[in-house]
């Protein structure tokens, strides 16, 4: 089954991939700006948004789904932007099929292993009985009880939809995400590499990408350069959208 996709603009293809618990809708505003220069595709990743649910959350599987999406759309090559989990998928795609990636942007994530740190979110979500929910407010009350901050709550609640007239449900595949959450933190396989242009862009207040990570990044991506969006955390594209846009557009617009 094909991945669901929002798209806009015209020109050279640009594919934007969201992070864990996200969906393509999170990128529509920035996507329209990129659409002034590129044909922008914003697919929901497997097990997220309106895309199909599977029993696999591994990066090789998700990258293959993106490749099939490209084949279905007739995209021989594209610029790629990926944030967090989407950045890991983007890296996997680039090292698996480098000829399909023109320029690579990885937002606030590196190829190294990351410890699992979504346990509280998953526990909160698992304790929300969507079959019994009467409103989003009831779901938010449970999130508050688990100490989730307002930004995280609003981000997650965007995934709650009326599956039936009297039934709310999550768009993401919570059982598979919960069961396979360790897949999200796994590193890129040793010895893999993408020799094309690569921009790693981080939030200045985020700790996901450190200066000392660059040696590991360049072992996979020899042309990698690092930019910082000052004053932004992990959600740098949402916190400082203009800075993120300016830096990434400058990189993507370089003529080869």
Domain ranges of the chain: 5-113+187-252, 119-179
Which SS3 state, helix, strand or coil, does residue 67 take? helix
Q: Catalytic one among 18, 83, 234, 237?
A: 234
Mean of pLDDT values over 64-73: 98
Per-residue pLDDT tens for 39-57?
999 999 999 999 999 999 9
- β-strands 167-170, 160-164: how paired? antiparallel
Tokens of 109: 């994530």
- Is 39 one of the catalytic residues? no
Q: Catalytic one among 48, 84, 206, 220?
A: 84
The pLDDT of residue 256 is 56
Whether residue 189 contacts residue 112, with contact meaning beta carbons closer than 8 Å, is answered with no
To which H or E segment does residue 107 belong? strand 101-107
Whether residue 56 contacts residue 46, with contact meaning beta carbons closer than 8 Å, is answered with yes
Closest among 16, 70, 4, 10 to 35, alpha carbons compared: 10
187 exposure class (CB count in 10 Å sphere: 0-12, 13-18, 19+): middle
Kindly give, in sequence order, each residue whose CB lies less than 8 Å from that of residue 156, ignoring residues fewer than 6 positions away.
21, 121, 125, 143, 148
Per-residue pLDDT tens for 79-131?
999 999 999 999 999 999 999 999 999 999 999 999 988 999 999 999 999 99
Domain 5-113+187-252 bears CATH identifier 3.40.50.1820: yes
* In 174-255, alpha helices (H): 174-179, 214-220, 236-239, 241-252
The pLDDT of residue 48 is 98
Which SS3 state, helix, strand or coil, does residue 65 take? helix
Kindly give, in sequence order, each residue whose CB lies less than 8 Å from that of residue 72, ignoring residues fewer than 6 positions away.
2
- Is 24 one of the catalytic residues? no
Per-residue pLDDT tens for 164-181?
888 999 999 999 999 999
């Amino acid at each position: 089954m094909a991945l669901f996709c929002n798209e806009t603009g015209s020109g050279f293809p640009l594919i934007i991939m969201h992070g864990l618990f996200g969906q393509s809708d999170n990128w529509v505003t920035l996507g329209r700006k990129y659409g002034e220069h590129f044909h922008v595709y914003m697919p929901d990743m497997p097990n997220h948004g309106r895309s199909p649910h599977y029993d696999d959350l591994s990066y090789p599987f998700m990258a293959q789904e993106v490749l099939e999406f490209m084949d279905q759309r007739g995209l021989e090559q594209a610029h790629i932007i990926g944030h967090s989990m989407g950045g890991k998928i983007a890296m996997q795609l680039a090292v698996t099929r480098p000829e399909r990636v023109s320029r690579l942007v990885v937002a606030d994530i590196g190829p190294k292993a990351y410890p699992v740190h979504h346990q509280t979110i998953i526990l909160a979500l698992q304790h929300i009985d969507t079959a019994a929910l009467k409103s989003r407010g009831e779901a938010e009350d449970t999130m508050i009880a688990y100490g989730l901050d307002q930004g995280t709550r609003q981000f997650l609640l965007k995934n709650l939809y009326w599956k039936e007239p009297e039934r709310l449900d999550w768009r993401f595949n919570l059982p598979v995400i919960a069961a396979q959450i360790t897949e999200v933190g796994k590193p890129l396989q040793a010895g893999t590499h993408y020799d094309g242009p690569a921009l790693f862009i981080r939030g200045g207040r985020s700790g996901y990408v450190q200066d000392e990570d660059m040696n590991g990044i360049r072992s996979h991506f020899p042309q990698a350069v690092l930019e910082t969006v000052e004053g932004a955390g992990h959600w740098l594209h949402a916190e400082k959208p203009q800075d993120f846009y300016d830096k990434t557009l400058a990189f993507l617009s370089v003529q080869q």
